[in-house]
Copies of this chain bind each other. A is one copy, B any other.
Amino acid sequence: MNLLYAFDLAGTFTFAISGILTVREKEQDWLGATFTGFITAIGGGSLRDILLGSYPLTWVGDTSYLHVILLAVPITYMFYYQLEKLKRTLLLFDTMGIAFFTLVGTKKALDVGVAPEVAAIMGMFSAIMGGVIRDTLINDTPILYRKEIYASACLAGAITFLSLNSLGVNYNINFVVSLILIISIRILAVKYNLQLPQFKR
């Protein structure tokens, strides 16, 4: 449990950094940058909890999430260029973040008692909607609509987790397997430039 909590804070921290780094293409002051990091980090989980009616929202009930985000701001500022150069490392961090958020979100939805189909959506939303809200606010094309495999890796992981769960697989094993699956799909997709087929004929 404490391990999950530590990972959740780590994921929040990573998401805040990757959110703030999108600021590079836009002119934003310190407050705008902090807001961008904040929305990216807590947007997905907040939307999930609002859709589930599950209160209090994580960051409203536990200020550690805010503190971790506030910590990410000066750190991103100080290591701006280093972080920008570390694109491969960042990709790995971001991928671990979405993988982790997907599974925590899926589990949380299941615990609230919703059907597996709904839980899969909640898991995917936990991981991607923070970025989608951020992109919408800065008038960018939401990640969800970009060509890369991103949301679909989360969805595949959530479905795997739910399938193994319904087969009675041990929770910890299931978590690790599904986590590795999401990370692998995403990394392979970036490496080999894989895409889902276009819908339009």
Name the CB-closest residue of B to A80: B201
Q: Please, how many residues of chain A have a CB less than 8 angstroms from a CB on the other chain?
A: 53
CB distance from A84 to the nearest CB of B (A): 11
Asked whether, in the complex, the Cβ of B139 is within 8 Å of the Cβ of A139, the reply is: yes
Q: Is A59 an interface residue (CB 8 A)?
A: yes
With contact pairs A31-B155, A198-B29 given, residues A117 and B66 touching in the complex (Cβ less than 8 Å): yes
User: A138: CB under 8 A from chain B?
Assistant: yes
Which residues of chain B are near A31, meaning CB under 8 Å? 144, 151-152, 155, 196
| Cβ–Cβ contact A23 & B199, under 8 A | yes
A141 to B138, CA, bound (A): 7
- Residues of chain B lying within 8 A (CB to CB) of residue A168: none
Q: List 26 A-B contacts (CB under 8 A).
A: A27-B200, A28-B199, A29-B196, A29-B198, A31-B151, A31-B152, A31-B155, A32-B144, A32-B199, A35-B144, A50-B51, A51-B57, A53-B55, A53-B56, A53-B57, A60-B118, A61-B114, A63-B117, A66-B117, A66-B121, A80-B200, A80-B201, A136-B137, A137-B142, A138-B142, A139-B141
Chain A positions near chain B (C-beta within 8 angstroms): 20, 23-24, 26-33, 35, 46, 50-53, 55-57, 59-61, 63, 66-67, 77, 80, 114-115, 117-118, 121, 132, 136-139, 141-142, 144-145, 147, 151-152, 155, 195-201
